[in-house]
Structure formats: structure tokens, C-alpha cells
Amino acid sequence: MKSTFDNAGVGQFQYKFLLLPLSARATLIHSVRSNFPLFLLDNFEFSPSQQMEIQNMSAAFASEVSEGIANTWESGQSVIFQKDAKPGEGEHVKDRVYHNPNSPTQRQAGTAWLPVSIYIRYHLP
């Protein structure tokens, strides 16, 4: 059964993921790295418009996010995920904010791995 792609669904997915045996975790981590859009579509429920967004995601962005998620999970941590509720009908803009504190420009030598964060928010144009 697929999880919802909201705060509760992603949290529940990650909780179950962290309870898996290491071999099962490794399989999921490999699927994140090898085909991030397919991983999302296989594991979460999306509307048709969200499915199109995922399928049209740039390869560079998918690679960056998938590597951050995989590294976070390999460190035994959960990704920090926050998705705001979509405002009512009408025009709005969706922002996808991805932060990786472990990137070469952010990470300090000798520090512990920090989880990546993903924030999806909406605002008026």
C-alpha cells in the first residue's frame, strides 16, 4: 500500500523504513539512487498533476535530492520533511526547498552527518 505524500505519510514511511533489516533498507536506498522519480511513484500516492511534475523533474535535481536522501538514510536518520497544506482553489505558486547541510560548501570537516531537509510550500504569485 502506498503512503500519502504529506507530513504524516512521509513520516510513517520513514518510520517503517528505519525498522527494516539492513538488506531491505539497502534495496530501497538503491532504488532511490537509481531512479528517484520511479521510487516516488512506486511508494507514494500522487494526483495526476503531481505525477507529471515528478516525471518532468530535471535529472540534476532528482540526482541531488536522491543522493541526499540516500545518504541521510544510510546514516540511520530520517529526512526532515515539511509539506504545507495546499491553499484552496485558485492561483498559487509551489516552492520546493531542498537543503543539504552536508554539501561541500556547507559541511565542516569532522562533523557528523546531518539529515537533508525538504520543504514544500505554497504562496500567492
pLDDT averaged over every residue in the chain: 90
- The residue among 56, 61, 51 whose CA lies nearest residue 116 is 61
Q: Measured in whole angstroms, how far is the alpha carbon of residue 48 from the centre of its chain? A: 19
Domain total in the chain = 1
Question: Which domain range does residue 90 map to?
Answer: 3-123
* pLDDT band of 104, cuts 50, 70, 90: low
* Separation between Cα atoms, residue 11 and residue 82, nearest integer Å: 10
Q: pLDDT value at position 8? A: 97
Task: Please report which helix (H) or strand (E) contains residue 27, including its range.
Answer: helix 22-34
33 phi/psi in degrees, rounded to 5: -70, -35
Residue 108: pLDDT above 80? no
The secondary element (H helix, E strand) that includes residue 10 is helix 7-19
pTM more than 0.75: yes
Residue 124: which pLDDT band, with cuts at 50, 70 and 90?
confident
Identify the residue whose cell numbers are 522519480: 37
Gap between the Cα atoms of 30 and 116, Å rounded:
17
Other residues' Cβ atoms within 10 Å of the Cβ of residue 102: 19
> For residue 106, what pLDDT is reported?
61
